[in-house]
């Protein structure tokens, strides 16, 4: 039996970051991971591979639609799907090996296999039982299922299958207009598939700023994606290699079907804690299956913590990472903190969508007096130069104090620009603080400054 200060179960962004910080703080640390490679959902079948395919397919889109406009003449590139998948796998490999290197560098032991917690302070991996003062559950999440829809990961796939399809489908139905469905839907639409998104609600990307939702859907439609809104999927079946999806429209109960080569089920994810033995340990759970924790990520069992997708909160890699670092500090007797009010959310389509803090809808529901500063990328010279004038920056600030309460962006590099606002919010900045900060020209960031100016005396370029 090996003894550790900390054993982390799961090597996703929550678990591996937690382990590295524990090691940096002088704790003897091990990580249990059942996959062949480190990095969890994010590096193996999530954030990283999807961004590789988004990049490749966006490059194709640029070549097909914008190269000629810039005087770059020639035949448009053809898609070699096998090669594109190999590029994606290469990117995954570089990243997962990078984590392995960091584990070695920080002297973190990788206990290979699936772990369970037979008793307080013990972790079983295979036949071996290891002991630890602290155990962290960082076991992540898995794709949620949908009644009547049986996933075979060939024709009816989750996001995992959608990252390794044998070929680019001719037609694809995406069930669910959330982040994952829209990102992967746009990949295949750019590669030539006819993509139809079927969504239960009346708006895409639930919880996002309403104005962003509308603009985003309009731009995706312009890129060729079709949307069926307010539709409850009843079933999806495969016959002779082709799928039929059936849904009922909520407004009139009418039934509709559509055939497709591929159906992507992207109706969300659920926490994964199977096989850990949490029931026997008496660990308290949330009604929706997450491990219940207090503000220091402590479960109801002493010495047992949980972070990332396995607990409540947005299912995002950076949220998991922040919790991983913070819980390491807590276990080392220091102060760990995550500011859940300032966690950005990004959709890596083209244009990108990014948000942080309150939406207008939330502020209205809270009855809070606020002002809106908005600036369209059409007024940004850099954006226009690179054919990315669609979208806007919208900053919400307190009506009296001018303190920034939230921001919602759709447009070029939105996923990078959002961090200026995150930093401003962390520092309790006002919109005027951003407006008074000199921004280099010509940058997309100037649109953020202009939106901040719009919270005050007005932007210059609109
Ligand atoms: P995970 O990354 O799920 O890692 C958990 C690990 O624990 C897994 O490797 C699993 O094998 C292991 N494990 C589970 N049980 C055991 C056990 N008993 N013993 C040993 N090992 C175990 N988030 C973003 O922020 N940005 C994005 O762009 C983004 N894109 C995404 C795209 C897709 C297609 C998907 C599916 C997700 C995406 N996400 C994105 C979400 C992100 O991947 C997750 O929020 C993040 O990975 C959660 O990290 P985690 O450490 O909690 O768990």
Pocket test for ligand 1, best of 317, 345, 414 (most atoms within 8 A of CB): 317
Catalytic residue among 65, 256, 419, 441, which? 441
Q: Which two tokens stand for residue 20?
A: 């590295």
pLDDT of residue 76: 81
Residue tagged 């913590």 (tokens): 305
**Does residue 270 have its Cβ closer than 6 Å to ligand 1?**
no
10 lines ligand 1 (CB under 6 A): yes
Residue 409 Cα, ligand 1 centroid: separation in angstroms? Answer: 26
**How high is the pLDDT of residue 1?**
64
- Ligand 1 and 389: CB distance under 6 A: no
CA pseudo-torsion sign 115, 117, 122, 127: negative
| Helix runs in 374-413, H state only | 381-385
- Ligand 1 touching residue 185 (CB < 6 A): no
Ligand 1 centroid distance, CA of 141 (Å):
6
CA dihedral 30, 32, 37, 39 (to 10 degrees): -80
6 sits in which H/E element: strand 3-9
Q: For position 91, what pLDDT does the model report?
A: 98
**Chain position carrying tokens 């400054």:** 449
Per the annotation, the verdict on 441 as an active-site residue is yes
* Contact (Cβ atoms closer than 8 angstroms) between residue 163 and residue 170: no
Contact 375, 393 (CB under 8 A): yes
**Complex confidence, ipTM:** 0.99
Looking at residue 328, its pLDDT comes to 98
* Distance from residue 41's CA to the centre of ligand 1 (Å): 3
Give backbone dihedrals phi and psi of 329, rounded to 5 degrees, phi first. Answer: -60, -45
Q: List the chain residues with pLDDT less than 50.
A: none
pLDDT of residue 453: 98
Q: Which residues pair with 351 in a beta bridge?
A: none
Nearest to 462 by CA among 394, 396, 404: 394
CA distance 5 to 331: 9
Q: What is the pLDDT of residues 366-417, one digit of tens each?
A: 999 999 999 999 999 999 999 999 999 999 999 999 999 999 999 999 999 9
Give the C-alpha separation, 407 to 390, whole Å: 17
| Overall pTM surpassing 0.95 (yes/no) | yes
């Amino acid at each position: 039996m090996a003894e550790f200060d900390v054993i982390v179960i799961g090597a996703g962004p929550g678990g591996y970051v937690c382990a590295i910080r524990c090691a940096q703080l002088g704790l003897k640390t091990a990580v249990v991971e059942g996959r062949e490679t480190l990095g969890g959902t994010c590096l193996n079948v999530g954030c990283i591979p999807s961004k590789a395919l988004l990049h490749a397919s966006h490059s194709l889109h640029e070549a097909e639609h914008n190269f000629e406009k810039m005087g770059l003449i020639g035949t448009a590139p053809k898609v070699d799907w096998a090669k594109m998948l190999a590029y994606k796998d290469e990117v995954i490999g570089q990243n997962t090996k990078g984590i392995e290197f960091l584990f070695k560098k920080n002297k973190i032991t990788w206990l290979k296999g699936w772990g369970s917690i037979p008793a307080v302070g013990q972790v079983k991996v295979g036949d071996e039982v290891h002991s630890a003062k602290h155990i962290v559950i960082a076991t992540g999440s898995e794709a949620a299922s949908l009644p009547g829809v049986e996933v075979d990961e060939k024709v009816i796939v989750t996001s995992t299958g959608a990252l390794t399809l044998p070929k680019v489908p001719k037609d694809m139905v995406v069930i669910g207009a959330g982040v994952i469905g829209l990102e992967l839907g746009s990949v295949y639409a750019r590669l030539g598939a006819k993509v139809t998104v079927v969504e239960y609600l009346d708006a895409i990307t639930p919880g996002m700023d309403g104005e962003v939702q509308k603009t985003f859907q309009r731009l995706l439609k312009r890129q060729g994606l079709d949307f069926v809104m307010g539709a409850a999927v009843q079933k999806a079946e495969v016959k002779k290699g082709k799928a039929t999806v059936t849904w009922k429209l909520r407004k009139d109960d009418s039934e509709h079907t559509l055939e497709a080569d591929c159906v992507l089920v992207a109706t969300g994810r659920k926490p994964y804690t199977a096989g850990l033995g949490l029931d026997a340990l008496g660990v308290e759970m949330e009604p929706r299956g997450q491990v219940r924790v207090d503000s220091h990520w402590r479960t109801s069992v002493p010495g047992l913590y949980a972070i990332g997708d396995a607990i409540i909160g947005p299912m995002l890699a950076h949220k998991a990472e922040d919790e991983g670092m913070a819980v390491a500090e807590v276990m080392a007797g220091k102060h760990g903190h995550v500011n859940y009010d300032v966690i950005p959310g990004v959709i890596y389509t083209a244009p990108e969508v990014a948000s942080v803090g309150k939406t207008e809808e939330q502020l209205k529901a809270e009855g809070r007096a606020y002002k809106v500063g908005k600036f369209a990328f059409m007024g940004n010279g850099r954006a226009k130069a690179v054919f990315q004038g669609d979208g806007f920056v919208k900053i919400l600030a307190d009506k009296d104090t001018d303190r920034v309460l939230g921001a919602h962006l759709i447009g070029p590099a939105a996923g990078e620009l959002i961090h200026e606002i995150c930093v401003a919010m962390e520092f309790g900045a006002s919109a005027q603080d951003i407006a008074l900060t000199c921004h280099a020209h010509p940058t997309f960031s100037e649109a953020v400054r202009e939106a901040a100016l719009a919270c005050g005396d007005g932007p210059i370029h609109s």
